[in-house]
Amino acid sequence: MNRPRNTHGFKQSEVLGENLYLRFRLRSALLGAAFALAFLALIARAFWVQCINDGFYQLQGDIRQIRDFTVHAARGRILDRNGHILAMSLPTRALWVDARDVPSVARNKLASVAALLGIDSGRVEDVYREHRTFAYLRRQVPLATANAAMRLDIPGLYAERDYRRFYPEGQIAAQVTGFAGVDGNGQEGIERVDNRFLTGIDGNRRVLRNARGQIIDTLNFVGPKPGRNIRLSIDRSIQFAAFQAVRNAVRRSGAKAGSAVVLDAHTGEILAMANWPTYDPNRNAARSGRQIRNRAVTDVFEPGSVLKPLTIALALQRGVVTPDSIVTTDGGRLRLDHAVIHDDADFGVLTVSQVIQKSSNVGTTKIALQLKPRDMWRNFRAVGLGRAPSAGLPGAAAGNLRPYQHWRRIDQATMSYGYGLSASLLQLAQVYTIFANDGVFVPATIHERGAARVHGRRIYSARVAREVLAMLESVVSKDGTAPQAQVAGYTVAGKTGTAYRWTAKGYDHSQYRASFVGIVPASAPRVIIAVSIDRPSKGSHFGGAVSGPAFAKIAARTMHILNVSPNELTANELYSQAPAT
């Protein structure tokens, strides 16, 4: 017997299938919509990148592919008056890294480049590990070393044009030239004071790089413009002679330091300026300490008797005395305002000319006290004391010259023979231009004047200047204080100065400053030479004995270099020319 069919179960199955189908359709629609929306978003993004904001992304791409490099300009040369090089720039390379897009680099390669450059390998590894965009590894790398480093083919390592400053004369002219730093800026000497002229204008190189950071093309190049050459008044040969003489004088006398200045007597051009101790500007490690300063310009001291001729010249100019006026020295001791002024010996009765020849403090004081303090102060100021020389050298000191309103009689007396005021050696050399130029003061300069007109200033009459010059000649005679400054074949006029050194506790009578300033030839002045030795400790401490021989050596060599004919016959020459009897 047939059983009836279950229609109710069939209907339930059919309904369940329809639900599943609807759900599938819904999910498919949602998934399709999601894909459609994503596709539309991609289209919109592409449209934004390609059409609306394409400039920004193009720029970002260019930044990663285009790089600008600075092309360093060569610094100008420093030349002596004859065109010899005192400072120049040698071509080198600066090695640097852009590790932004560089993958890892083998450590052995990084160690190799570090060894070549003489730097720590850890430093190089840090640059690459941190993916720095710019880091100098080393500047002023010799060309051969730089080429060897680049042959290692390290990604992101670049070499650009660089320069290293070189000083052919080394320590001989170090304080004059000074030196420039690794960045090319002058730090001392002429390098510093004329930095704006010596510095060139850097150029630019725009390049295209590949994915490894290697340069594949140059897009643009603007060449650098080198700095201007500077020609100094220095004569390289005279500079060497001055350097040797000062160095030997310091060593011979056991002194702490010494300086020498050689001026052209008529133009004021500095032909030489030497100091000892010194340093080698080519060695970076030596560019510090006291030895780098130009003592002839920066250091001031009480000059002592070197200034006596100024007092005598003023007295002659005012008509207070004549060269033959008589001055008593009171046994070499003069009491003044509870102080005692003394000479090195009892000179008895002297003429004004002999006051200079014997370097009498008492005689100079008696003459000075006949002058007005204001006139003496103006006299000092007129020849550049108490004001920094405008010679074109950095760090020039003004020295000390107190206002005359505060002078006591003892101040006036001591200043008349070079105590109670201070000056640099360059200032003292300038002073003596008045005696070499018939009473006209000529300011010093470190730059060659060329055809430029010299602007001097008359201080004394020609007659007074010549009278003092004759007195200064007697100083170098056998009866004067500086026979050691004689120069065979040439007349010499000059003055010694021996002064106690001032300390925090007053004058130290065991420490001296020994100086000599002279003019050669005296009969037709050509140069002025000033030499000063600080704290001699061996043998004599007097200016004539310590600085006189150095002056004579510089003078003899300078006369030969400048081709100045002898103007004085030696005793042997006089004898050979005497008529036969």
Residue 571 pLDDT grade (very low, low, confident, very high; cuts 50, 70, 90) = very low
Give the CA angle between residues 473, 349, 500 to the nearest 5°.
Answer: 65
> Which residues 6+ apart lie within 8 Å of 348 measured at CB?
328, 329
User: Among residues 253, 259, 305, 353, which one is catalytic?
Assistant: 305
- The average pLDDT across 283-301 equals 91
Instruction: Give pLDDT, residue 576.
Output: 46
Are 96 and 88 a contacting pair, CB within 8 Å?
no
> Would strands 215-222 and 230-231 be described as parallel, antiparallel, or unpaired?
unpaired
- pLDDT value at 534 more than 50: yes
Q: Which tokens sit at 140?
A: 């002023």
Higher pLDDT, 53 or 101: 101
Instruction: Give pLDDT, residue 11.
Output: 57
Q: Which tokens sit at 379?
A: 């006299």
Q: Which tokens sit at 486?
A: 């004689």
Angstrom distances, CA of residue 352 to CA of 311, 316, 366, 458: 11, 10, 11, 23
HSE-CB at 287 with a 13 A cutoff on CA atoms is 15
Taking only the tens place, the pLDDT of each residue in 535-546 is 999 999 999 999
Residue 168 pLDDT grade (very low, low, confident, very high; cuts 50, 70, 90) = very high
Is 236-575 CATH 3.40.710.10? yes
DSSP letter, residue 290? G
Q: Where are the domains of the chain?
A: 67-91+164-231, 236-575
- pLDDT value at 164 more than 70: yes
Angstrom distances, CA of residue 129 to CA of 97, 107, 121, 308: 12, 11, 12, 72
With CA atoms as reference, report the closest residue to 459 among 380, 369, 353: 380
How far apart, in whole angstroms, are the C-alpha atoms of residue 206 and residue 150? 20
Residue 345 pLDDT grade (very low, low, confident, very high; cuts 50, 70, 90) = very high
Instruction: Give pLDDT, residue 329.
Output: 96
Higher pLDDT, 59 or 562: 562
Instruction: Give pLDDT, residue 204.
Output: 87
For the CA atoms of 541, 546, 548, 550, what is the dihedral angle to 10 degrees?
-160
Instruction: Give pLDDT, residue 15.
Output: 56
- pLDDT value at 97 more than 70: yes
Q: Which tokens sit at 499?
A: 């002064």
- The average pLDDT across 519-525 equals 97
With CA atoms as reference, report the closest residue to 70 among 203, 200, 180, 256: 203
Higher pLDDT, 413 or 338: 413
DSSP letter, residue 262? E
Active site residue 305: yes
pTM for the model stands at 0.84
With pLDDT > 90 as the criterion, what percentage of the chain qualifies? Answer: 72
Instruction: Give pLDDT, residue 235.
Output: 98
Residue 456 pLDDT grade (very low, low, confident, very high; cuts 50, 70, 90) = very high
- pLDDT value at 138 more than 60: yes
Residue 572 pLDDT grade (very low, low, confident, very high; cuts 50, 70, 90) = very low
Taking only the tens place, the pLDDT of each residue in 357-392 is 999 999 999 999 999 999 999 999 999 999 999 999
How far apart, in whole angstroms, are the C-alpha atoms of residue 411 and residue 574? 48
How far apart, in whole angstroms, are the C-alpha atoms of residue 424 and residue 399? 7
- pLDDT value at 151 more than 80: yes
- The average pLDDT across 431-444 equals 98
For residue 309, say if its preceding peptide bond is cis, omega within 30 degrees of 0: no
How far apart, in whole angstroms, are the C-alpha atoms of residue 258 and residue 271? 17
Instruction: Give pLDDT, residue 460.
Output: 98
Q: Which tokens sit at 416?
A: 């008349």
Hey, which residues does 532 pair with through a beta bridge? 259, 515
Q: Which tokens sit at 477?
A: 């005679």
- 67-91+164-231: what fold? Penicillin-binding protein 2a (Domain 2) (3.90.1310)
Other CB atoms within a 10 A radius of the CB of residue 392 amount to 17
**Least trusted range by pLDDT, from 6-15, 198-207, 288-297:** 6-15
DSSP letter, residue 232? B
- The average pLDDT across 271-297 equals 93
Nearest-Å Rg of the Cα atoms of the chain is 40
Taking only the tens place, the pLDDT of each residue in 315-334 is 999 999 999 999 999 999 99
Residue 573 pLDDT grade (very low, low, confident, very high; cuts 50, 70, 90) = very low
- pLDDT value at 430 more than 90: yes
Instruction: Give pLDDT, residue 570.
Output: 43
Instruction: Give pLDDT, residue 133.
Output: 86
